[in-house]
Structure 1
Amino acid sequence: MIKKKLFKKNRKEKKNPGKILSKLISVKEKIQKKFREKFPKKKPRFHDANLHEKRYILRLAAMSFLMYLYIETFARATDGIFNGVMMLWKQPVVFLYNWLIIFATLTLTLLFRKRGFVTLLIMIVWGTLGTVNGCILIKRMTPFTLYDLQNLGDGLTLLTTYYSKLQIVLGAAALIIGGAIIVLYYISSYRWDNVNYKRSFAVVLISVAAAMGSTVGLIRLGTLSTFFGNLNYAYTDYGFPYCFINTSINKGISKPADYSKSSIQKILKKTKNGTDTTPTKKETDNTKPNIIVLQMESFAYAQDFHNIKVSNDPTPNFTKLMKDYTSGWFEVPACGAGTANTEFEVLTGISAKFFGPGEYPYKGKLREKTLESMAYVLKNSGYSTYAMHDHRALFYNRNEVYANLGFDSFTSAEYMNNIELTPTGWAQDKTMTGDIMDILTNTKNPSFMHIISVQGHGSYPTEQVFKDPYTTVTADNEETKWKYEYYVNETHQMDTFIGDLLSKIRKSGEPTIVLIYGDHIPALDVKSADYADGNLYQTRYVIWDNIGLSENDRKLYSYQAGAQLLKDAGLSHRGVIFDYQQSNSQKSSSYLSDQKTLAYDMLYGKDYVFGGKNPYKQTKMRMGYKDIEIDKIVKIGDDYYIKGKNFTERSKISMDGETLSTIYLSSTLLGLQEKIDPEDVDKLEVSQTDKKDDTILSTITSQEEL
């Protein structure tokens, strides 16, 4: 009897979900009925496919045109509100091609009876993408790609980096209201009559085929490109729809048609080491020179610009270096922006052109996988490896990526003191001189140092900034004059930093090789006719040394720089890519395709290069080369202070992973500016934080040092 009752009870419980569902349906029907009473469904003007199909397709064409005009107008708003219209006049083929892409997506509505609702959804997608891109371009120089939203965390960081909390809340409210409107529109949208799905599918097929065929044809004609050396320029030249789709779909290195274990071994046999690629640690040789890679932000030789004249040489140190040491043109994969791809090539020997258009390996694969690099090769040769950048550690994910490239430490701006800023807010490069020399003269092993400058970064003011400049600029118009005058006077300060650093290295007696180059030309909207021989993807380089290297001027590709430095240091044929470049002529027909195959294998393939297993382990990279220490926590009155060593302006007192209100008093003293429970004093820590959003980069407790 008891079992029967229990069985009936359980059976009733199982019915409950059905009752809940039926109640929800009933509520939905009541809401829909009341909505219909107040807003009766009206038959739209176009509703019958037999009568209105052609006119509806014309409407889709007009909507596509207006949507694309909005997207480009917003994207170019910082340069002028009529620039979207001007694109139609100046770039009619590109404009109509991108219109065709949007139109092709809108023709998908022909496959649905609720065409109005589907049209709304597709228009919302394009409108949202265009709006996000426009908002981002107001705040930064790089346009919107899917990499900005690689995961939820990155998306939230993007929002908090560029917008206030109030703006984010208002945006969220707008999304909620928009969602409600979409639901109501779905309820009220009319179903089309007499839909001929075969005819509709044919229209979709023809429009998609036209868009795809136009893509192939325009690429062959050179109107479009599959390589984006500068994302901002590419989006401007080729249009948002094409660039956004291209950067979203074409990612990574494509798999070579003949990729196999045997094809890899065939390539390896062209190198000196052959298939013996297992990296081995060698005894430290203290006679080997230090190697410094000095990547100068937007550093170009002023005399290479044909559209300006300077009263004085802004870079006298660099000019003399070019005369006295190995120098020449430095071919880079970037133009006006794209710093990370130039340094990627220098460090790994792999061309950024192997990847998708506008792709940054630092934002993708290198966040999850280690890769053979100069740092790993030199670590195995007894070197200590350091990276340094006078800007944010989070920029291009360097705080994550450098550990996958073999660096022992990374010192970013958050670990530096006494940073002087330029008028536009970038750190002056002279900030790093003392730290570079400190590492160089106090490291027992030879040092490999990768130094990334930031001082020359854009944008450049269009009005006068320097009242008494080192050099003045003559140009055709005021805007060009002031932008270039600001830029060349910043490069003068960067040149002074270079001269001062080399002077100190020379006096130290440390045997050293220094590669100095510009990562790309500045973002000054330079035209081919206004620069050097017309190639905008080149800067100048110098290889300075105090070990007696012979001068050998020549053009150098950035992906060949690592192999050249290793050879100059007497460390030839170490590392697979570097060995290949040193063993083969770049005139060989398979020179680049072989390297692309090796790169694919190491990053996306099966590691046949190393016998099937990647030998490089992520380093336990420390942030900052100095030990940050907590000596003691003291109480003065009602306030707590932490005494220690090597604190910086980005040092924050923290507890349980949360930063607390802190005042930086000196490199040895921090003050807590909020009340805490006396029992929690022992939990106080010191964290180094990002300057934009207080992201914690590293933390120490009173029992440890960083």
Structure 2
Amino acid sequence: MQIKEILRKDRLWQAAFLLLTPFTAVWLMQLAYGTNPFAMAFPVLLANALCVALLFWLLCALVGRIAPCTIAVHIAAGAWGAANFYVNSFRGTPVQPWDFSALATAADVAGNYHLFLTWQIGLAIALAAALVIFLHPQRRKARLRLTGRRGIPLRLACLAAGLACLLFLLPTEKLGVKTDVWDPTGAYRQWGCLAVFLRNTEFLEVEVPENYSPETVDEILDETEPAQPAEVSVEKPNIIAIMNESWADFESYGNLSLSESVIDYVQSLDNTIFGHAYTSVFGAGTSASEFEFLTGNSMAFLPSGSIPYQQYVLGPTASLASILKAQGYDTLAFHPGERNSWQRDRAYPHLGFDTFKCGEDMDVPQTMEHGYVSDQSDFEQLIWEFEHKEEGKPLFLFNVTIQSHGSYTDPAYQAEVTITDEPGKYPMAEQYLTLANKTDQAFRTLVEYFQNQEEPTIILMFGDHQPSVEQGFLDKAYGVTQDQMTMEQYMGKYQVPYVIWANYPLPEEGPEVTSLNFLSLYLLRYAGIPFTGYQDYLWQLQQTLPALTFVGYVDADGEAHSHLETNDYTGLIREYQCVQYNNLFGGKERRSAAFDP
């Protein structure tokens, strides 16, 4: 009788831990992420628990010891929640499935981010430690073993239950789990860090556009009118395109009072076009902005958060570099960071660059700003490349800077630009603004150098995305909190400045608003370089839709729209999607004559 009673108690312990562990692990995960775990709807909690149970029950079946499996799963769940919290704090979005293809890039910059302890993460650590202590006594360990002949049926049940979880995991939307590509932070908070992450894997595959066919692409391109060229007074000028890390224009919203302007020199230049362009990323995702600018393709038609350099640019790909190379230009890419970041070392040759230089290849002395190569040194390298280029041959130089890369939490870096009405309240933002001011000063050096050169040269500088700084500062800059934003205000989060300057007369005024996939058209136009058929198509399209990004688009009247709308522009956008799909994924049916120079 006593033995049966003991066995009964053991079964109760085992059942309790096997059934409750997936739920308590999810609770710990959401706590570490910084949200209220009790706020989750039960179906959503169940969906995340099934994700955990899949691993936990299979692990118990394999190991046969519930106690260490319980500890391991709780620690892993808490670590996953904390990892998402920190990644979201540093770049503005939590961990996404495609981030695992960019681990090398993340490792390159990880040393410049500083971890900090929140009370939620501290509590999660304390609870995990308490669990370890609670399960340590030998009596409890013995009760939670699935060993011997008596444990075999339960181990088999764990194996079957773990495999059965797959039936519920794959259609997690049935349990109320949703994704939100515009607000992944909120999605992880509302529907769970693990279940939403798994649902996001659905976006890893590029869907064939509705009504797509190569013949449809032919019809679209046949209806395109060739763009009328601008009257440019020079032939084949040197072209320098600078994508400046996290360069933003927070002053344009009109809500900030700064101790000094951080963009005043750029705005004071003569013979200059200054405006704003919309990007498809916020806080991170530099290579997506590069891809849009260089190719004219839009992230709007690619999976959320995908990394084109690593997923799609796997062979020769038409770009600004290949077009200029066909026009007789030397094509050089320069980034003062690591060579393999975003796999640029593999992507750039496919895009048509003859040469790629990184930080270790620099020919000028390096000065640093908060741990990264300064824009001053970066621009001095551009001057060095100009002075050492082949005489009489035009140069196309594409430069991606790194000075203003996050994070902005270096305690040793002294902020020189402050927010006058609330100095010191937003240290990350003030550190960023100081860096932006140094960019403005460095650009002066570059322009003043080329003002004194005889060879015609045109320079474009634009931002890749806005920085991830304190949300309170962003709310102050935008003049509205994110939950109160209109579509137009929301797109403002994805707005960056651009400036085009030349040491010869620019032929015409430029756009006040554009997007990165259209911006290179203006650079070619002002350099007098003829368009390809695809660029003629894009030029015609942007007359109606001046800006189009992953986030949304702006029509010729300046009204912002979401891609969720169905309106008079929906047909045009679907045509763009078809043409782009043929360009990237058309294979043997790709209409090369329209895309390639």
What is the TM-score when the length of structure 2 is the normalising length?
A: 0.72
In 2 relative to 1, CA 289–161 (structure 1 residues): closer, same or farther, beyond 3 Å?
A: closer
| 1:525 alignment counterpart | 470
Contact 2:65 2:146 (8 Å CA) reproduced: no
- Which of 556, 567, 571 does residue 529 from structure 2 map onto? 571
* 1:514-538 C-alpha deviation (Å, 9 max, x unpaired): 2221211111034664334452111
Q: Please list every run of 5 or more consecutive structure 2 residues that lacks an aligned counterpart in the other structure.
A: 112-140, 228-232, 479-488, 546-554, 556-568
Which residue number corresponds to residue 445 of structure 1? Answer: 393
Residue 337 (structure 1) shift: 1.4
> Relative to structure 1, is the Cα distance of residues 555 and 249 closer, same or farther in structure 2, using a 3 angstrom cutoff?
same
Tell me the residue number matched to 1:357: 304
Amino acid at match of 1:338: G
Partners of 1:161 and 1:537 lie apart in 2 by: 23
Residue equivalent to 2:197 = 244
Q: Name the aligned partner's letter for residue 596 of structure 1.
A: Q
1:427 offset after TM fit, Å?
Answer: 0.9
User: Could you tell me how far 1:414 is from its partner in structure 2?
Assistant: 0.7
Q: 1:43 & 1:156 partners in 2: Cα distance?
A: 51
Please say if residues 299 and 520 of structure 1, whose CA atoms lie closer than 8 Å, have aligned partners that are also in contact.
yes
Give yes or no for contact 2:238–2:396 (8 Å, CA) kept in 1. Answer: yes
How far apart, in 2, do the equivalents of 1:157 and 1:313 lie?
A: 32
CA displacement at 1:381 relative to structure 2: 1.6
Aligned residue in 2 for 1:459: 407
Q: CA deviation at 1:563?
A: 2.0
- What is aligned with 2:501? 544
Aligned counterparts, 1:24-35, within 5 A:
none
Structure 1 pair 191–350 and aligned structure 2 pair: CA distance change class (3 A): same
Larger Rg: 1
- Displacement of 1:500 in angstroms is 1.1
Asked whether the 8 Å contact 2:532–2:596 carries over to 1, the reply is no
Q: Which residue of 2 aligns with 1:267?
A: 220
Letter in 2 for 1:413: G
Partner-residue secondary structure (3-state), 1:430: helix
Post-superposition shift, 1:452?
0.9
State the shift of 1:100 in Å. 3.2
Q: Counterpart in 2 of 1:674?
A: none
**What's the counterpart of residue 68 of structure 1?**
26
Query: 1-side partners of 2:98 and 2:172: how far apart?
Result: 28
Aligned to 2:517: 559
Q: Give the aligned partner of residue 398 of structure 1.
A: 344
CA distance in 1, matches of 2:505, 2:521: 19
Distance 1:328 1:102, change over 3 A: same
Q: How many residues align?
A: 509
In structure 1, distance between residues paired with 2:377 and 2:164:
64
Return the alpha-carbon distance in structure 2 between the equivalents of residues 491 and 556 of structure 1: 22
Alpha-carbon offset, residue 569 of structure 1: 2.2
Equivalent in the alignment of 2:119: none
* Partner SS state of residue 517, structure 1: strand
Matched, 1:435 2:381: yes
Q: CA deviation at 1:612?
A: 11
Give the aligned partner of residue 338 of structure 1.
285
Cα distance in 2 for partners of 1:476, 1:47 equals: 61
Change (3 A) 1:129 1:557: farther
> Is contact 2:96–2:200 with CA below 8 Å preserved after alignment?
yes
CA contact (8 A) 1:386 1:409 kept: yes
* Alignment-derived partner of residue 256 in structure 1: 209
Q: Secondary structure at the match of 2:45?
A: helix
Q: Report if aligned partners of 1:104, 1:208 keep a CA contact under 8 Å in 2.
A: no
Q: Which amino acid aligns with 2:193?
A: F
Check conservation: 2:287, 2:309, Cα contact below 8 A. Answer: yes
Partners of 1:158 and 1:316 lie apart in 2 by 33
Choose the corresponding residue for 1:212, options 150, 153, 174.
174
Question: Higher relative CO (CA 8 A, sep ≥ 6), structure 1 or 2?
Answer: 2
Amino acid at match of 1:545: A
- Tell me if structure 2 keeps the 8 A contact 1:389–1:451: yes
Question: 1:156-555 maps to which residues of 2 (within 5 A)?
Answer: 187-188=147-148, 189-192=151-154, 211-212=173-174, 214-215=176-177, 224-227=179-182, 239-272=192-225, 287-304=235-252, 308-321=256-269, 325-366=272-313, 368-416=314-362, 417-422=364-369, 424-441=370-387, 442-443=389-390, 444-461=392-409, 465-466=413-414, 469=416, 471-474=417-420, 476=422, 478-480=424-426, 482-526=427-471, 529-532=475-478, 533-534=489-490, 535-549=492-506, 550-555=508-513
Aligned to 1:630: none
SS at match of 1:551: coil
Paired amino acid for 1:486? Q
SS at match of 2:373: coil
Name the CA distance, whole Å, in 1 between partners of 2:445 and 2:385.
16
- Once the two structures are TM-superposed, the CA of residue 412 in structure 1 deviates from its matched residue by 0.9
Instruction: State the alpha-carbon separation in 2 of the partners of residues 448 and 194 from structure 1.
Output: 64
- Write out per-residue CA displacement over residues 257-307 of structure 1, whole angstroms, 9 at most, x where no aligned residue: 333332222232233479xxxxxxxxxx98222222111111122424677
How many angstroms apart in 1 are the aligned matches of 2:406 and 2:518?
27
Question: 1: CA distance between counterparts of 2:272 and 2:51?
Answer: 57
Write the distance in 2 (CA, Å) between the matches of 1:268 and 1:257.
Answer: 17
What's the TM-score, normalizing by structure 1?
Answer: 0.62
- Give the SS at the match of 1:474: coil
Asked if the contact 2:333/2:397 (under 8 Å) is kept, the reply is: yes
More helix by percentage: 2
Residues 244, 462 of structure 2: 8 Å contact kept: yes
Tell me the secondary structure at the aligned position of residue 448 of structure 1: strand
Q: Following TM superposition, by how much is the alpha carbon of 1:324 offset from its aligned partner in structure 2, in angstroms? A: 5.8
Change (3 A) 1:385 1:118: farther
- Amino acid of the structure 2 residue aligned with 1:592: I
Paired position in structure 2 for 1:596: 577
Give 1:676-695 correspondences, 5 Å limit.
Answer: none
Amino acid at match of 1:573: F
Q: Deviations over 1:209-230 (max 9, x none)?
A: 6743523xx5xxxxx41357xx
Deviation, structure 1 residue 498: 0.9
Partners of 1:490 and 1:308 in 2: CA distance = 17
State the identity %. Answer: 22
Q: Residue type matched to 1:373 in 2?
A: S
- Please report the RMSD computed on the Cα atoms of aligned residues, expressed in angstroms: 4.5
Instruction: Give the residue type in structure 1 aligned to 2:538.
Output: Q
Instruction: Give the 3 Å change call, closer, same or farther, for CA 43–193 of structure 1 in structure 2.
Output: farther
Equivalent of residue 589 in structure 2, options 605, 608, 620:
608
